[in-house]
Amino acid sequence: MKASQTFIAQSPGQEAAEAPFDAVLPFPGVYRCSKCEFSTIRNWELQSHAKETKHATFVCKTPGCTASFVVESHLQAHEAHAHVSGHSQIEPNGMFTCAECGQAFSTRAKQQSHGDNSQHSPFLCACGATFSRVDVLHRHMDSYANDVPKFPCKFCKFHRGKHGFRRRDHLVQHLRGYHKFDEEDISEACPSARRTKQRQFATCPHRGCDLFRDESFHNLRWVEQESQRPFATQGAFTKHMKEIHQQTPFPRDVEDCDKVGAKGYVREKDLMKHRTSKHPDVPGYSPKPRQSEYPCGLNGCDKTFSSAAGHFEHRYWVHWTSEQQRAYEDA
């Protein structure tokens, strides 16, 4: 290193650039804010500075892109997805801000929780579209990545080449609806790139129904629940509740409205849109609170967890035997 120079890096992974400096520094690099004169030898201090001052100091390194971010993980997510003109994640009024109401939050998790509880779409694309989850926004951005769709159908002549599907879930809908594939055939035809999430399986809540399951089912290991689940998909559960029990999660809450029973809505957001368009004079709607705790319940355990993933991990490490763990890993 020359006596009058040091290396400056704004974020890890960025190529170091030589720049004049008044004194020889006893370390190989320094992290500097791109919006002010703040500098440090520790990346976490630069991240804290950016959050406190709301300086968008983390700059995209893709040629021609001028996007910058307050949070380094947002930059990493931005660079991991396609750069398409007119389609990129926008953070209005600073970091972790709801695109629908403008309320700001200290973390991404709180921003997502706000969207879930208020039924807002807090994530914004440069094209103006809003989304309820950031992964759906990223999927939207990736769908414009190139001119040739990434998911052609191998079982019909039309949906190939430029007529293929841009999203895997659209191909899945096509295979399920047009070709009448079951879930096993779909998984083989277009396997998901992501591992299936640990989640609770839907069961019919009506005692006496053949698809009802009591608490003993939910206390089974996840792999056992998966093999014994009464519904192959969430859509099958919804169809069962509509056709057999004439029920939907969000029926009308306004008198003289026909959206009742099987005509109600599966998504609360759709009910809210219906009220706005068809019943604008009724009082405002308050979304139902979401489940915020997942109780363990195994062997009298009274622990609760804020996420289904934490709930599963606890059961796996605390309550399962080594034989059960091996059976799960081998499944």
DSSP string, 168-187: HHHHHHHHHHTS---HHHHH
Residues 6 or more apart in contact with residue 170 via CB below 8 angstroms: 151
For position 9, what pLDDT does the model report? Answer: 41
For position 221, what pLDDT does the model report? Answer: 74
Cβ count within 10 A of residue 64: 7
Cα–Cα separations (whole angstroms), residue 110 to 72, 107, 117, 209: 17, 5, 10, 39
For position 12, what pLDDT does the model report? Answer: 43
For position 134, what pLDDT does the model report? Answer: 84
For position 51, what pLDDT does the model report? Answer: 82
For position 263, what pLDDT does the model report? Answer: 92
By DSSP bridging, strand 294-295 and strand 304-305 are antiparallel
pLDDT tens for the 331 residues of the chain, in order: 333 333 334 444 444 333 333 333 344 458 888 889 888 888 888 888 888 888 888 888 777 777 788 888 777 777 766 677 778 777 766 568 888 888 888 777 788 888 888 888 889 888 889 998 888 888 888 777 766 567 778 788 788 767 788 778 888 889 888 888 887 778 777 776 554 444 678 899 999 999 999 888 877 877 788 889 999 888 899 999 999 999 999 998 888 899 999 999 988 888 988 998 999 888 888 887 665 567 787 777 888 776 666 777 777 778 877 777 666 666 5
CA end-to-end span of the chain, whole Å? 55
Cα–Cα separations (whole angstroms), residue 293 to 97, 304, 322: 25, 6, 27
Give the whole-angstrom CA distance, residue 311 versus residue 198.
9
Give the whole-angstrom CA distance, residue 67 versus residue 46.
18
For position 21, what pLDDT does the model report? Answer: 34
Contact criterion met (CB below 8 Å) for 61 and 51: no
For position 210, what pLDDT does the model report? Answer: 94
Q: What is the mean pLDDT of the chain?
A: 77
Cβ count within 10 A of residue 243: 10
Domain ranges of the chain: 5-58, 81-142, 294-330
Specify the 3-state DSSP secondary structure of 263. helix
Q: What is the 3-state secondary structure (H, E, C) of 192-210?
A: CCCCCCCCCCCCECCCCCC
With CA atoms as reference, report the closest residue to 193 among 129, 138, 133, 131. Answer: 138
Give the whole-angstrom CA distance, residue 71 versus residue 77.
10
Cα–Cα separations (whole angstroms), residue 150 to 125, 134, 185: 21, 21, 19
For position 14, what pLDDT does the model report? Answer: 43
Q: Which residue is listed with tokens 């999927």? A: 139
| β-pair partners for 295 | 304
Contact criterion met (CB below 8 Å) for 71 and 30: no
